[in-house]
DNA sequence: GAGAATAGTATACCTTAGTATCTTAAAATG
DNA sequence: CATTTTAAGATACTAAGGTATACTATTCTC
């Protein structure tokens, strides 16, 4: 029992500890992906006890999501303004797939399906205590289109505004990889008709 | 160790055993729902060993899905022919929600998200070795609409044909309950514009 | 500064999905 | 009918998510 070193003279708390855990989680996620990622290993890496994790995140998928939101590629996607709704949508979603490709959808699939147990699809891109950035961007693109008389925003319901997120997640969950062609098809066959429907 | 009864003179095999397991699974699902449903309990109820289950179904969600497909309410939904695509779609999906309401979407949510780990959304309604009945019905409804010149089937891609399944599943995963109003909104705001898009 | 409240640490525990192993009944093959 | 093959039975095991408990270092409050 002779601990040769003064192991933990200082005990981390609050934000300090939280950051250490999130960093460890982020490292692990990059190294081995969500599927093989375990809570025990995160705890070990962060030199923290498992209950510390569960005190902050109710479940594994929640911790993983937090780590990605904190350290993952930022969703600082440029909102395009090409002069055409169609082009703007294609451009915007093309930027999004790059982020997913960094991980590979295969590695994210498990996380997404686990998250769906707790939150609805359209909220998957929403950080706690913040706006859904994807949603905001879509609305911005639609506003631009309204100025060009391509559509009437007031006629679009929340369900319709969430459609891009839903379709995108569906592809991530269903396909190995989301290509540019897939995005073009989604925009031309689904989003454009819905957004510009005369009603 | 004195087994007073000749417990298992006969050892069940093949389809016999499979049926016994599926029956036990179906009973359990009805009694306690998917979340509390365990493989060990199914095995016990069926007087079978756990490896018997895993030899046939690779995972819990797969066994549950099989049990529902076998004993659950049949998808023998009547294909409506009201003379209007919109009415047909609303009518058809209204029949579907009845089936889901029998369980309550809450009880099915976990099953659906678990299934999504193995299969894409649009295949959720497809039994092994059979056609996707939901898909077939949608196509039938669209054929009828084509005869009335409401749309041109040849212009609709597989992605578009799967859209009803995707949207329906999204609602089941996202909402507590899928109401008639929700269905009407999905049909009017999304499906009709997509199916009848001029392009 | 004394004492209470808070929140780490360490560790054991429970539950359940899923696997491995060994024995044995039943079916298939000849 | 003897032998081989297949698959069920029994049971033990592993791994991981998640919880409970006892103890103790910090911080808060008075």
B186:A159 CB<8 A: yes
- Which of the nucleotides lies closest to A47 (Cα–C1')? C9
Asked if B38 has any chain A CB less than 8 Å from its own CB, the reply is no
Question: How far apart are the C-alpha atoms of A47 and A64, rounded to whole Å?
Answer: 17
The answer to whether the Cβ–Cβ distance between A174 and B109 falls below 8 Å is: no
Task: Give the model's pLDDT for residue A9.
Answer: 57
Residue B132 φ then ψ, to 5°:
-75, 110
Tell me if residue B132 falls in helix, strand or coil: strand
Spatial distance between the Cα atoms of B62 and B114, rounded to a whole number of angstroms: 9
- Whether residue A121 and residue B160 make contact (CB cut-off 8 A), yes or no, is no
Q: CA A29 – C1' D26 distance (Å)?
A: 31
The residue to which tokens 């009603």 are assigned: A199
Q: Which nucleotide is nearest to B54 (CA to C1')?
A: C18
Q: Cβ contacts of residue B140 below 8 Å, gap of 6+? A: B79
pLDDT of residue B153: 94
Q: Average pLDDT for consecutive 10-residue bins of chain B (199 residues)?
A: 43 90 95 93 96 96 94 80 94 85 79 91 77 86 95 93 91 82 95 90
What gap in Å lies between CA B47 and CA B17, rounded to an integer?
9
CB-to-strand D under 7 Å, chain B 15-74: 17, 47-52, 55
The reply to whether A37 has its C-beta less than 7 Å from any atom of strand D is yes
The token pair that represents B1 in the structure block: 């160790």
User: Touching check for A191 and chain B: CB below 8 Å?
Assistant: no
> Chain A closest CA to B179's CA: distance in Å?
14
Q: Hey, is B104 helix, strand or coil?
A: coil
When the pLDDT of each residue in chain A is averaged and rounded to a whole number, the result is 87
Examine the pLDDT at A157 and tell me if it is beyond 90.
yes
A32 touches chain B (CB under 8 A): no
Q: Is the dihedral of CA A162, A163, A167, A173 positive or negative?
A: positive
> For residue B88, what pLDDT is reported?
95
DSSP class per residue in B181-194: HHHHHHIIIIIHHH
DSSP state of B129: T
Q: What confidence tens digit (pLDDT) does each residue in A80-123 have?
A: 999 999 999 999 999 888 877 777 777 788 899 999 998 888 78
Cα–Cα distance, A20 to A25 (Å, whole number): 9
* DSSP-assigned states of every residue in chain A: ---SS-TTSS---HHHHHHHHHHHHHHHHHHHHHHH--HHHHHHHTT--HHHHHHH-SSHHHHHHHHHHHHSPP--PPPP--S-HHHHHHHHHHHHHHHHHHH-HHHHHHHHHHHHTTS-GGGTTBPTTS-BHHHHHHHHHHHHHHHTTS--GGG--HHHHHHHHHHHHHHHHH-S---HHHHHHHIIIIIHHHHT---
pTM: 0.86
Contact between chains at A157 and B186 (C-beta distance less than 8 A): no
């Amino acid at each position: 029992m002779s601990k040769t070193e003064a192991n933990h003279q200082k005990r981390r708390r609050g934000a300090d500890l939280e950051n250490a855990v999130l960093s460890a989680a982020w490292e692990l996620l990059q190294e081995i992906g969500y599927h093989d990622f375990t809570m025990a290993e995160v705890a070990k890496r962060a030199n923290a006890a498992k209950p510390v994790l569960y005190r902050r995140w109710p479940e594994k998928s929640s911790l993983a999501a937090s780590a990605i939101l904190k350290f993952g590629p930022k969703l600082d996607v440029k909102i395009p303004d090409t002069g055409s709704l169609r082009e703007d949508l294609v451009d915007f979603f093309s930027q999004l797939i790059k982020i997913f490709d960094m991980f590979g959808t295969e590695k994210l699939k498990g996380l997404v399906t686990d998250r769906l147990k707790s939150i609805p699809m359209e909220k998957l891109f929403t950080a706690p205590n913040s706006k859904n950035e994807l949603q905001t961007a879509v609305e911005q693109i639609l506003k631009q289109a309204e100025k060009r008389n391509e559509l009437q925003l007031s006629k679009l319901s929340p369900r319709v505004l969430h459609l891009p997120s839903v379709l995108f997640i569906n592809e991530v969950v269903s396909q190995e990889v989301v290509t540019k062609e897939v995005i073009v098809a989604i925009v031309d066959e689904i989003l454009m008709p819905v957004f510009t429907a005369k009603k």
